[in-house]
Amino acid sequence: MKTKWLMLAVLATMFAGCQKEENGFQSTDGRESASGMRVVIDGEKALRTETTRAGETKVYFEGGYATGAGLYNTVEHPIVAAHPDEGYEVDYFYGGPQNQPKKYDYDKSDSISFQVDLDGKDHLFHCGFKKKQQLTLTVQADPSEGGMISLDGMSFFRERSRKIYSGEKWFIQAVPSEGYKFVGWNVLEGDVVIDNFRSASTLITMKHANTKISARFVKKEYVTINLSFNLQFGAFVNVIDNTNHVSKQFDGAKGSFQVEKGANVTVRVNPGSIKNGRQLYPTAQVDDITVWGNNGRGSIIANSHGWTVNFTADSNSKVLIHCKFGKPIN
């Protein structure tokens, strides 16, 4: 056991020496040394190297530490990773064999963890941390009467600012007022990554500058759908606004409904509900359903030979449902 700890102490001393003098790093250039392939982690602000009881070597810097330094055989694929302290972020983190000193590079991949293919070569990594920049995030509703914003679980109608570290993620949410809908986020100034510009609930990541964003709301527009049957037929009919998840039902020979303009709409006649006057005809069937634009004064928008028709409600529409006696309803 004493021999094991002595070997670990020697290994840690060797890494510390390599970190203090980068020019002293000598690659084996494909010739595996008697003890294996070396992974060395260096940096301008390296403080010390420690080896845990589990055998993991940690190289400590001002602002964080790095793991993955050690001796490996040629078939191993060690993971070399940087671990920033609270309030710090990676400044630089790169490494590789002598002929590819930046084979793995945080600046290019935005990754702080690399699985290393040693390929019979020693690898030298450079690591450094810096204090996170504290930035101001301002979120506002535009127009404010169209809805409110939620930032960090607090809702407000006009504008809210708070201090956020660069690289930090925050959840934001836009809540439309009655009669309005959310249409997207605008970056008015600054530098921020928004996961989904079109989603009312999304994550943002602060980058390198004070940032102001706004939620855009617009008033909803509605169109009218007029339903009618041939002759005196009628039925239970569902009008489903698939876009806003709203369903309305009517029972009769005709009906009129409003849905949001641009919504995807389904008109569905309920099987077994067709009637002539007050008499129910369970063996009647729907011959076809035709949708006309502009209340029947335009062209055919959709046509379906069956019980259901789908269409986009871009304008006022007239839906004519043609029923007939015939085979039993499926």
Q: How confident is the model at residue 24 (pLDDT cuts 50, 70, 90)?
A: very low
Query: Tens of pLDDT along 56-107?
Result: 899 999 999 999 999 998 888 999 999 999 889 899 999 999 999 999 999 9
Which residues are CB-contacts of 78 (< 8 A; sequence separation ≥ 6)?
39, 68, 70, 72, 115, 116, 118
Q: Would you state the pLDDT for residue 9?
A: 43
Nearest of 130, 111, 113 to residue 63 by alpha carbon: 130
The helix (run of H) or strand (run of E) holding residue 80 is: strand 79-84
* CA proximity to 59, closest of 115, 18, 2: 18
Task: Compute φ and ψ for 255, nearest 5 degrees.
Answer: -165, 165
3-state secondary structure of 294: helix
> What rounded mean pLDDT belongs to the chain?
84
Structural contact between residues 128 and 158, judged by C-beta atoms closer than 8 angstroms: no
**pTM metric for this prediction:** 0.55
Neighbours of 107 (CB within 10 A): 11
- CB of 124 within 8 A of CB of 40? yes
Query: Distance (Å, rounded) from C-alpha 100 to C-alpha 162?
Result: 43
Q: Tell me the CA distances in angstroms from 15 to 12, 20, 290, one per residue in order.
A: 5, 9, 79
